[in-house]
């Protein structure tokens, strides 16, 4: 089968959506697919089926596929049903969930959101002034999804949010793929101590400040932070943890598993709604227990408390207690480590995910 993947240009070493696209592409090639990857929909030739990944050019891709009468499947790797991409209003320390985006609501988010004390004034002004064009684009994207042959979401919460935004029809839930290379222990330990690890953007919406506050309540525990971040929030973290905060900068996907295997526990305290958030899935594949907040999509859509992870309500004290349990209870640690890795192997391995996509391809072509 000839498959054309429309995806943004990027290396396979950085960015969750980009990594997922490359991982899926390699898995489908192993299953015998003839794949052409293009950056722009204008480059689409005449394949059997189109798979549009990520967000950029979604509207253009749908129009070209309709014009050429080509079957289109769209993978939604983020919350494109919200102008800010978060579905969270930052009225409180932990944010307040917002399920439906409106022009006035989006304007207030860009203008007043607590996280806006971290970007520059130029960014804040630009985001606020472009609220209406962003909302129009949101509506155009929802229309494009409705006119596609199939929509794939990477979590149950992502599906729910699209339905609230007006996307009907058949929406599949298929997780992002994780490479089997994460199952192989690199036998490299970067630290001598038992540390907790935070990966992803060091930002308000990712909950980096909450991870720091939780760790500050534990005795003798250090926090390793991997990823790009705003200097202002880094200073907030240092204020809470001092030398117990270790910033390692951006790490590419080929090296990140060294950090997973070197950590004792991995933290995933996102405030915004996560479409997936592959950091926790990679940690599970490495057999590392993760501690996550509940009810904001992503990890909490997949993992179960005290079986494959430890889940906490949005309370830093409760979150800190869950982290501490994994330092105090060896039996609990081993059970979650084992169960998480088995769950990840059954659900997130690239070949497993590729088979689910293959089933969707066959169903769409049959119709």
Q: Give the chain's end-to-end CA distance (angstroms, integer).
A: 16
pLDDT value of residue 58: 95
Q: Which of 109-113, 222-226, 267-271, 292-296 has the lowest mean pLDDT?
A: 109-113
User: Can you list the positions of beta strands (E) in the chain?
Assistant: 2-6, 34-38, 49-53, 72-76, 88-89, 96-97, 150-153, 171-173, 196-199, 223-226, 245-249, 265-268, 290-293, 310-312
Q: What are phi and psi of 21, to 5 degrees?
A: -65, -45
Domain 2-82+129-177+349-366 listed as CATH 3.30.470.20: no
Q: What is the pTM of this model?
A: 0.92
Q: What pLDDT digit, counting tens, does each position of 166-209 carry?
A: 998 889 999 999 999 999 999 999 999 999 999 988 988 889 99
Give the C-alpha distances (Å, rounded to integers) separating 19 from 26, 188, 223, 282: 11, 23, 25, 12
Q: Where are the domains of the chain?
A: 2-82+129-177+349-366, 180-347
Q: What is the mean pLDDT of residues 13-41?
A: 88
Residue 82, SS3?
coil
Give residue 15's pLDDT band: very low, low, confident or very high (50, 70, 90): low
Superfamily (CATH H level) for 180-347: Glycogen Phosphorylase B; (3.40.50.2000)
Q: Can you tell me the distance from the alpha carbon of 15 to that of 3, in angstroms, rounded to the nearest whole number?
A: 23
Q: Can you tell me the distance from the alpha carbon of 78 to that of 86, in angstroms, rounded to the nearest whole number?
A: 9
Is the pLDDT at 96 greater than 80, yes or no? no
- Is pLDDT larger for residue 253 or for residue 217? 217
């Amino acid at each position: 089968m000839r498959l054309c993947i429309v995806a943004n240009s990027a290396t396979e070493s950085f960015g969750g959506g980009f990594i997922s696209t490359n991982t899926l592409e390699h898995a489908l090639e192993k299953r015998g697919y003839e794949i052409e990857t293009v950056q722009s929909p204008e480059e689409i030739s005449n394949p059997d089926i189109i798979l549009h990944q990520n967000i950029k050019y979604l509207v253009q891709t749908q129009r070209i596929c309709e014009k050429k009468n080509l079957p289109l499947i769209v993978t939604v790797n983020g919350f494109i049903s919200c102008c800010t991409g978060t579905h969270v209003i930052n009225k409180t320390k932990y944010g307040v969930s917002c399920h439906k985006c409106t022009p006035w609501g989006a304007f207030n988010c860009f203008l007043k959101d607590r996280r806006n004390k971290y970007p520059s004034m130029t960014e804040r002004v630009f985001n606020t002034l472009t609220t209406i064009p962003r909302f129009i684009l949101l509506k155009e994207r929802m229309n494009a999804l409705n006119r596609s042959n199939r929509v794939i979401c990477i979590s149950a919460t992502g599906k729910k949010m699209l339905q609230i935004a007006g996307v009907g029809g058949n929406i599949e839930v298929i997780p992002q793929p994780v490479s089997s290379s994460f199952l192989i222990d690199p036998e490299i330990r970067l630290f001598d101590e038992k540390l907790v690890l935070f990966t992803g953007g060091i930002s308000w919406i990712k909950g980096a400040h909450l991870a720091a506050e939780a760790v500050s309540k534990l005795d003798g525990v250090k926090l390793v932070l991997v990823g790009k971040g705003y200097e202002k929030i880094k200073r907030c973290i240092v204020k809470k943890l001092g030398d117990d905060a270790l910033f390692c900068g951006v790490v590419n996907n080929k090296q990140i598993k060294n950090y997973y295997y070197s950590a004792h526990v991995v933290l995933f305290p996102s405030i915004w709604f996560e479409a997936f958030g592959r950091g926790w899935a990679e940690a599970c594949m490495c057999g590392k227990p993760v501690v996550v907040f509940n009810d904001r999509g992503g990890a909490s859509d997949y993992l179960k408390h005290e079986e494959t992870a430890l889940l906490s309500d949005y309370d830093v004290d409760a979150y800190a207690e869950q982290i501490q349990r994994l330092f105090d209870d060896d039996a609990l640690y081993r059970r979650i480590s084992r169960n998480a890795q088995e769950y990840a192997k059954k659900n997130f391995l690239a070949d497993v995910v590729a088979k689910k996509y293959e089933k969707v391809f066959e169903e769409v072509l049959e119709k």
